[in-house]
């Protein structure tokens, strides 16, 4: 059989395009912000992960430009060899201090960081306990490691405990969870996870991609939010959300960081983060530390939108995060609603199977510290209008 036969037989994209409801690869023609230009039109952006609004902050942009002028456009090598600059070293130090960890390892993307950390730490006789709705990068990291992955039901810690009891007593165990689950906005029960970790002598890794700049008094994430920083062994995150750049990090002990740096293939064999990305990330982090009220403002913005949607009888999955998932149920309806929202001036993201169970499709919306109330009201009005057209409003 021809290796490419699967490509020839792949018609779903073509079929959806023929129906004129294809929702992906819309072209952005402006800075990523709360109001953007997409394909020639003004759109209220409630579909990005730009939680702190730093992508268009002039202070962040200026530092990226300055770093490019000083260090050039790239490092032309891996961190292991010629690709470490003073920017890498300074950022890792500042991140470690912010996360209240001994050390921090940075890598070129968030996805790569999960791959690099988990595959380095988990060996042949080790086990990974993985929430079923963890991010795809965690699943791929588990496959890349030589350990055994055991999935437990989403947010079902009784199921986790039942399954961890079946692991050999002499095995190393890593429990991995998203802090905030990216599609639903649900928050993990970190105190319960810490309890299980201690009971069975496991280690705990929290994916804080959607938590940095969102949770905690200073925005340091899930562990700070619950007051359990010392109990989380590996705090993972990415620069592409609140820190408005590209790259990823893992806060941990110094000995674990050194082990990762010298044993992680994705780290050793990848080019290092570019100077512009490092400088933008560092400046965003410094602003976040200097302006902790931004975290409170983000919570206010999200709650304002929740109230606006409730008043308009739009059904949504409630949560703690600046992510509000709107119920649309049917796959074709979801795509048609997204298309209509886009035409009316609102950009949001469809969430379809396998990211949701069949019949439980969602439209994922996400919010930013710099969203203005009038823009949120306008977006809520448009959502309610479109949802009414598709008979999706709450009838109670």
Per-residue pLDDT of the chain (396 residues; tens, 9 = 90+): 899 999 999 999 999 999 999 999 999 999 999 999 999 999 999 999 999 999 999 999 999 999 999 999 999 999 999 999 999 999 999 999 999 999 999 999 999 999 999 999 999 999 999 999 999 999 999 999 999 999 999 999 999 999 999 999 999 999 999 999 988 899 999 999 999 999 999 999 999 999 999 999 999 999 999 999 999 999 999 999 999 999 999 999 999 999 999 999 999 999 999 999 999 999 999 999 999 999 999 999 999 999 999 999 999 987 778 999 999 999 999 999 999 999 999 999 999 998 888 899 999 999 999 999 999 999 999 999 999 999 999 987
pLDDT at 183: 85
Total residue count of the chain as it appears in this document: 396
Convert the pLDDT of each residue in 51-100 to its tens digit: 999 999 999 999 999 999 999 999 999 999 999 999 999 999 999 999 99
d(CA 376, CA 246): 27
**What is the 3 state secondary structure string of 4-41?**
CHHHHCCCHHHHHHHCCCCCCCCCECCCCCCEEEECCE
**CA 328 and chain centroid, separation:** 22
What pLDDT was estimated at residue 317?
Answer: 87
**How many other CB atoms sit within 10 Å of the CB of residue 16?**
16
Q: How far is residue 239 from each of residues 107, 138, 211, 251, 274, measured CA to CA in Å?
A: 10, 17, 11, 13, 12
Name all domains of the chain by residue range, CATH numbers in brackets. Answer: 5-56+292-389 (3.90.1150.10), 58-290 (3.40.640.10)
Element (H, E) at 262: helix 254-263
| Other Cβ atoms within 10 Å of 201 Cβ, number | 11
pLDDT for res 380: 98
381 membership: H or E segment, kind and range: helix 373-389
Q: Name the nearest CA neighbour of 133 among 342, 4, 325.
A: 325
Strands (E) across 9-160 are located at 35-38, 41-45, 103-107, 127-131, 148-152
Question: Which pLDDT value is given to residue 373?
Answer: 98
pLDDT in the model for residue 318: 78
pLDDT at 221: 97
Asked if 125 and 171 touch (Cβ cutoff 8 Å), the reply is yes
């Amino acid at each position: 059989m021809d290796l490419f036969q699967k490509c020839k037989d792949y018609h779903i994209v073509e079929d959806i395009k023929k129906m004129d409801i294809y929702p992906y690869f819309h072209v952005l023609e402006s800075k990523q912000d709360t109001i953007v230009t997409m394909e020639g039109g003004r759109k209220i952006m409630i579909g990005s992960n730009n939680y702190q609004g730093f992508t268009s902050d002039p202070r962040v942009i200026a530092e990226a430009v300055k770093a490019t002028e000083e260090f050039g456009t790239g490092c032309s090598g891996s961190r292991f060899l010629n690709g470490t600059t003073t920017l890498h070293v300074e950022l890792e130090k500042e991140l470690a201090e912010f996360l209240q960890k001994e050390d921090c390892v940075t890598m070129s993307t968030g996805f790569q960081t999960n791959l690099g950390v988990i595959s380095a730490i988990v060996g042949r006789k080790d086990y990974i306990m993985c929430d079923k709705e963890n991010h795809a990068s965690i699943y791929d990291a588990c496959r890349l490691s030589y350990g055994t992955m055991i999935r437990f039901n989403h947010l079902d810690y009784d199921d986790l405990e039942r399954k961890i009891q079946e692991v050999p007593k002499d095995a190393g165990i890593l429990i991995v969870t998203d802090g905030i689950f990216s599609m639903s906005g649900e928050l993990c029960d970190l105190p319960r996870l810490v309890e299980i970790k201690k009971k069975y002598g496991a280690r705990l890794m929290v994916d804080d991609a959607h938590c940095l700049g969102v949770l905690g008094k200073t925005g340091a994430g899930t562990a700070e939010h619950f007051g359990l920083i010392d109990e989380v062994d590996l705090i993972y995150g990415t620069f592409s959300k609140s820190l408005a750049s590209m790259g990823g990090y893992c806060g941990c002990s110094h000995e674990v960081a050194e082990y990762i740096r010298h044993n992680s293939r994705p780290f050793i064999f990848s080019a290092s983060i570019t100077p512009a990305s490092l400088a933008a990330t560092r400046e965003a982090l410094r602003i976040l530390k200097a302006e902790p009220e931004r975290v409170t403002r983000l919570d206010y913005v999200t709650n304002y939108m929740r109230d606006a949607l409730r008043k308009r009888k739009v059904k949504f999955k409630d949560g703690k995060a600046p992510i509000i998932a709107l119920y649309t149920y049917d796959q074709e309806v979801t795509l048609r609603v997204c298309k209509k929202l886009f035409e009316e001036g609102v950009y949001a993201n469809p969430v379809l199977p396998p990211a949701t169970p069949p019949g439980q499709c969602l439209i994922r919306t996400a919010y930013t510290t710099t969203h203005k109330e009038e823009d949120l009201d306008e977006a809520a009005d448009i959502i309610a209008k479109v949802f009414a057209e598709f008979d999706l409003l709450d009838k109670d």
